[in-house]
Amino acid sequence: MTNASGSQAKVILHLDMNSFFASVEQAHDPTLKGIPMAVAGNPKERRGILVTCSYEARALGIYTTMSVGEAKRICPQLVIVPPDHEKYRIASDAVFTILRTYTGLVEPVSIDEAYIDITDIGGLTNAVQIATQMQQRILHELDLSCSIGIAPNKFLAKTASDMKKPMGITILRKREVPDILWPLPVIEMHGIGKSTEKRLNGIDVFTIGDLAKADEILIKATLGKNGVRLQKRANGIDHRPVDPDAAEERKSVGSSTTLPIDETELNACLEIFKKLSMKVAQRLDKRQLAGTIVMIQIRTSDWHNQTRSRTVLNPIYKANDIYKEAADLFRRHWEGDPVRLLGITISNVIPMNELYEQLSIDNFERYANEAKMEELVKELEGKFGPNSVKRGIKER
């Protein structure tokens, strides 16, 4: 099959694991199958938050981000298990290993989703057959279910994979975009969150169709370059290739500084990390990136270099979050030697408009509180003027 230019049309799959954490727990413990169950932090505390739940639980009205107490009121017999991230990462690696037996053009996007370019191994003619075989292998070899979207580009493939869950296989063609996507509210489009929805609504853009047909200059003025990208995707246009090396090749963002004197005081070093965190956050914001690996660099007065890193579940980009991780790493690993240089680097970065956050067990409540705080800051600035409220970084 060829496109209008005469070249072979791309065929991209987006594979999305179904209720991944819950499914992995069920695969390890078959007694959890067929019953309402969920994975949650602090399962013994009713204030804990559900990170994911089985489809049996969802059928009862239970959903991710619901508190344990609320879920238990709906379904007293709901079984809640604590998370095991190492178990999930092993399962994720196994899924990607299966996908790579078909083609090397596999791009993991997160722990439970990936893009696969099958243009050269069957294209559209054999797309459903290939997708079905992948889905069945993952089910039979790993006892895990997934949904797969088939489309000519990444955006449409990701959209298609959401259309039928669990165990769905859906084809979405570009010519179907006006009928299928345009009537939907803009919040239903990948890459658009509450804040972007509000800004679009402010210029009378309420549906994906409104976005697709809106004046490009107005969209760019409202959302910048990202708005132009979103508008193209609303029209079914997305030229991003499937890049198997994307995770490894994505550049890191960092900042370091040589101290004017060799420093031996913990608080003085932490103050420097605060400033570095702000610089890194500004650079991430400028490039619209977020990352999952935090690394600190320590160079002592005798020129001994030490690096320590940590992988976080959710990509971070805010100064507060960067500082928290960097400061904790420093406290754990600094042995008191005089410090000559300090640095922070965020790596394994992804574009903000592709940010896919797996709700972590411990931080959902914190994020919810931060959202409330940001609303309060906006309200105060509305009364007292822009930049009238400054948020600091709390020292541990």
**CATH code of the domain in which 262 resides:** 3.30.1490.100
Residues 196, 333, single domain; the answer is no
Residue 239 lies in a domain: no
Q: What is the mean pLDDT of residues 73-79?
A: 94
Q: Is 16 annotated as a binding residue?
A: yes
Beta strands in the chain (DSSP E): 12-17, 37-40, 50-53, 79-81, 106-110, 113-117, 146-151, 169-171, 253-263, 289-300, 305-316, 339-351
Q: How confident is the model at residue 44 (pLDDT cuts 50, 70, 90)?
A: low
Instruction: For residue 243, tell me if it sits in a domain.
Output: no
6, pLDDT greater than 90: no
Q: Both tokens of residue 61?
A: 């009205």
307 and 374 inside one domain: yes
With 0-12 CB in 10 A as exposed, 13-18 as middle and 19+ as buried, what is 158? buried
The pLDDT assigned to 194 comes to 84
Please report whether residue 392 resides in a domain: no
Tokens of 195: 């804040």
68 with 147, same domain: the answer is: yes
Q: pLDDT tens digits, residue range 189-232?
A: 988 888 889 999 999 999 999 999 999 999 999 998 889 999 99
Backbone angles phi, psi at 8, to 5 degrees: -70, 130
Residue whose structure tokens are 């039979």 = 140
Query: Which structural domain, as residue segments, surrounds residue 196?
Result: 177-234
In a domain, 96, yes or no: yes
Residues 123, 57 within the same domain: yes
Same domain, 212 and 354: no
Q: Decide if 75 is inside a domain.
A: yes
Locate tokens 């932490």: which residue? 270
Q: Tell me: the pLDDT tens digits for 270-284?
A: 999 999 999 999 999
113 tagged catalytic: yes
Task: State the pLDDT at residue 377.
Answer: 56
pLDDT digits (tens, 9 = 90+) for 86-99: 888 899 999 999 99
Q: How far apart are CA 136 and CA 72, in angstroms?
A: 34
112 is in an annotated binding site: yes
CATH number of the domain that residue 193 is part of: 1.10.150.20
The yes-or-no verdict on residue 389 having pLDDT over 80 is no
CA 326 to chain CA centroid, Å, is 21
- In a domain? residue 389: no
Structural domain total, the chain: 3
106 and 204 assigned to the same domain: no
One domain for residues 200 and 258 = no
Active-site residue identified among 25, 56, 107, 113:
113
Q: Residue 240 domain-assigned?
A: no
- State whether 165 and 57 are in the same domain: yes
User: Is 283 domain-assigned?
Assistant: yes
**How far is CA 266 from its chain centroid?**
34
Does 337 lie in the same domain as 268? yes
Both 8 and 132 in one domain: the answer is yes
